[in-house]
Amino acid sequence: MLGSFVAFLLQANDWLNALVWGPPFMLLLVGTGLFLTIRLGFFQFTHLGFAWRNSFGSLLRRQTAPEAGAITPLQAVASAMAGTVGVGNIAGVATAMTLGGPGAIFWMWMVALVGMATKFAEATLGVRYRQIEPDGEVAGGAFYYIEHGLGWKPLAVIYAALAGFASFGIGNMVQANTMAHALETGFGLPAMLTGVIALVLVGAVTLGGIKRIGAAAERIVPTMAIAYIAAAVIVLVLHANAVPGALAAIVRHAFEPAAAAGGFAGATVLAALRYGVARGIFSNEAGLGSASIAHAQARNTPGGQGLWGIWEVVIDTLVIGTMTALVILVTGVLESGATGAELASRAYATALPGIGGLIVLLSLVLFSYTTMLTWGFYGEQSFRYLFGRRAVLPYRIVFLGFIYVGAVGGLAAVWDFADTLNGLMAAPNLIALIALSGVVLREKAALLVTRR
């Protein structure tokens, strides 16, 4: 009886997952980004230099008196990127190419370009509608701008519930399992030991709250991103003569089929579009609203923090994701028959024998670790919204326990359910982004006046 019920749940989830991540819903996600891009006057393109000067560029200047908030703008964007820069940038990009061909990367770029406007809106609204309590503690995220911006408390509750339960899947067990598999494959480390170590290391940071998470993310995320990009640059320099051809293949196969070759089965234009869009959304999470929870903690103005959101997408997808794709193409391993993280690892190992595979392995471990840090906070804030402060400590303890479960368990079903929950999170958030686009527009106008 129980087996039949589980089978029914899995079948129902498969149907729902296909609907959530099917063409209509992905079109809604991309369409919202395009709507915001047009509504904001293509702001992320026309004011890209302005966005740089008032985000990363501001780190080179003397800072003015900080706004209210718990962490610095850099710590907030580093925390948000800790949740997005990860398995999707390595295994996700590789999978998109094996299923959709090189052209999938072109459509991943297109998603990122409109996703820059979506992230600007999410970060802006996260700060605009956050709640600062008498003791200075900050609470914010999509559930707050859905409730206080739209006045739709039930929709905010639905979003918080989806985000809270998603944190145990995509932000916890899936990451712990990825880490355990990488360490067992690369160093023979038992999964049980990885589970215990990961539990301790994640707990040492997350039990200290967002300030400790922000401080850790500020150090780890830039370091691991720069190291991964540097390794990719070395590979591209070594294969410089193949780079123009790789870029040409990305553009060409976005509009014409990619023929089968070696272990690569070939791909239609429709497959390139489908998997490029899906992986692009999965990579930077623009439209899911999750990053607004981290950005809401920043000591910044609403529009000012929105600028950091723009660069979050640029670095995550247009830089790191593209680097992974180019390394795979210039090394010629797309036709090897490998897929996912194995394909990326083979590409680096081919170009950098001895250390290439190790670079990918360590990147997967660090990316998984930082994702757990950030999604632990996302889940914490979601349950806090639903049940109040009393829910925070119990949630943290349960979250840590599931890290061990994820490290030692099989996760095919967990991944599927988490993927569905992640997609469902987008629906309430997209409604809010469209309905509150006027507020985002006003915050953009205020930003241009105050920071010229």
- In the predicted model, is pLDDT for residue 65 greater than 60? no
Torsion of CA 379, 432, 145, 442, to 10 degrees: 140
Residue 3 above 70 pLDDT?
no
Q: What is the CATH number of domain 14-59+72-450?
A: 1.20.1740
Question: Half-sphere exposure of 177 toward its Cβ, with a 13 Å CA cutoff?
Answer: 18
pLDDT higher than 90, residue 124: yes
Amino acid of residue 147: E
pLDDT tens-place string over residues 405-424 = 888 876 566 666 777 777 78
3-state secondary structure of 354: coil
C-alpha separations of 251 from 280, 336, 425 in Å: 16, 22, 31
Dihedral (CA of 84, 413, 407, 93) sign: negative
Residues 6+ apart with CB under 8 A from 394: none
CA 334 to each of CA 97, 105, 270: distance values in angstroms, whole numbers, following the listed order? 8, 13, 19
What does the pLDDT read at residue 412? Answer: 60
The pLDDT score that the predictor gives to residue 341 is 78
In this predicted structure, the answer to whether residue 2 has a pLDDT above a threshold of 60 is: no
Average pLDDT over every residue of 28-56: 93
Residues β-bridged to residue 261: 264
Would you call 388 helix, strand, or coil by DSSP? coil
Nearest to 313 by CA among 128, 90, 84, 95: 84
Please state whether 101 falls in left (phi above 0), alpha (psi between -120 and 50) or beta.
left
Query: Are the beta carbons of 408 and 199 closer than 8 angstroms?
Result: no
What tokens does 285 get?
């999470």
Which one has a higher pLDDT value, 151 or 182? 151
pLDDT of residue 6: 60
Evaluate if residue 295 carries a pLDDT over 90. yes
pLDDT at residue 330 greater than cutoff 90? yes
pLDDT in tens, 194-248: 999 999 999 999 888 888 888 888 888 888 889 999 999 999 999 999 999 999 9
In terms of average pLDDT, the best of 21-35, 86-100, 260-274, 371-385 is: 371-385
Q: Which pLDDT belongs to residue 135?
A: 75
44 Cβ neighbours under 8 A, 6+ residues apart? 37, 51, 113, 116, 117, 120, 310
Q: Is the pLDDT of residue 76 over 70?
A: yes
- How long is the chain? 452
Percent over 90 (pLDDT), the chain: 48
Lowest mean pLDDT: which of 146-150, 165-169, 313-317? 165-169
Mean of per-residue pLDDT scores for the chain: 87
Structure-token pair, residue 198: 């990961």
- In the chain the first and final C-alpha atoms are separated, in Å, by 66
Max mean pLDDT range (56-65, 214-223, 373-382, 404-413): 373-382
User: 4 pLDDT exceeds 80?
Assistant: no
* 156-160, long-range: CB < 8 A, 24+ apart: 156/385, 156/428, 157/386, 158/428, 159/289, 159/425, 159/428, 159/429, 160/382, 160/383, 160/385, 160/386
Global pTM?
A: 0.91
